[in-house]
Amino acid sequence: MQQQSYQIETNRYAKCVEVSKRIRWDIDTDLIRGRQIDFGHKFLPDGLSLIHELDFLSGEEQRLLSQIQGRSYANIFGLVERFINAKVLEVSRDHWLGDQTALEALIRFSDEELKHQEMFRRVERMIGDGQPEGYRFLPDPNEVALAVLSKSTWAVLALTCHIELFTQAHYKQSIAPDPELSDLFKDIFLYHWREESQHAILDELEWGREHARLSEVERDQAVDDLIDLVAAVDGIVQLQSGADAEYFVRICGRSLDEGQVQRLRDVLLKAYRWQYIVSGVQEPRFSALLGELTTEAQRERIGKALAPILQ
Ligand SMILES: [Fe+2]
Ligand SMILES: [Fe+2]
């Protein structure tokens, strides 16, 4: 028998179900509404793309780079939602014959992530239609999912919670307040954010539930798994930032000198680490949760592993 002293917080799951039903949206009739992505505007805001650090680029070139980054940003979300959805379905098993409200909340979560993946495939096609040939999105969603899902559930839920919290922070702090972005690109992340708000609460509940089930030794092993997962995310970030730098150099319409190309590669890596790792680690709600579910020695281990990425 597993340790079962954990009390399911039905009211918090119920709130997620209620909000999920109320804000439910459709990709075509609510979000896209026959619109096209406007290439006259930036896609990713400066607060995420860090393009202002590349002062040798013209305004038009900076806009192009924000659009390439926006394309990869949408693709990365589509990619992580593959493993997130599989894990949500897996943990929902514990509620099959138990709390039916918790089960409903997780089924809606899964349904929404399937819709989001379809939405991000549509975004890739729309942006692909407007950008020159040669863009490559290198990580494979199923390969990444298989690697991630081989780690402990505690670690996968921690990573998922981190992602779904930074999704909200990105929208509120950078995307919403930027008046220079394409309206449709902005709306994609507005609609996404509305559903992700419930996901982050459910991640927190399921992560806590899993934590209660584990022994001290299993928790300690799970921290190592989380460190491995962050390293894997960093590997993806290095791969894709390199591919996007190369694509930009090829299509920007002039030749950059060696120093400029290196600077471009460095800033893209810094921007992607900021987007997918650092901004989430610094999110107060995530650090508070991690603080509750880890010991000081474990946090020190995580801090040491993160140090080279946070520089
Ligand atoms: Fe999503
Ligand atoms: Fe989500």
Strand partners, 199: none
Q: Write down the pLDDT at residue 105.
A: 98
Ligand 2 centre to CA of 105 (Å) is: 12
Phi then psi for residue 277, to 5 deg, are -125, -60
Ligand 1 center from residue 109 Cα (angstroms): 9
Q: Which tokens in the block code for residue 211? A: 């934590």
> What is the end-to-end Cα distance of the chain in Å, rounded?
44
Mean pLDDT per 10-residue run, the chain (311 residues)? Answer: 69 98 98 97 98 97 98 98 98 97 98 98 98 98 97 98 97 96 97 97 98 98 98 97 98 97 98 97 96 98 94 79
Q: What's the pLDDT at 1?
A: 38
The rounded distance, in Å, linking the Cα atoms of 155 and 222 is: 5
Contact 30, 208 (CB under 8 A): no
User: For the residues of 263-289, what is the DSSP string, one character each?
Assistant: HHHHHHHHHHHIIIIIHHHT-HHHHHH
C-alpha 1 to ligand 1 mean position (Å): 34
Q: How much distance in Å is there from the Cα of 23 to the middle of ligand 2?
A: 14
pLDDT at 2: 46
Pure H helices in 131-278: 141-149, 153-170, 183-213, 216-251, 258-273
Dist CA 151 CA 2 (whole Å): 19
State both tokens at 298.
């474990």
- Tokens linked to 90: 């897996």
d(CA 262, CA 218): 43
Ligand 2 centre to CA of 204 (Å) is: 12
* b/e code 115-130 from CB counts within 10 Å (16+ = b): bbbebbebbbebbeee
Place of tokens 């999105």: 137
- Return the pLDDT at 310: 87
pLDDT the model gives residue 115? 98
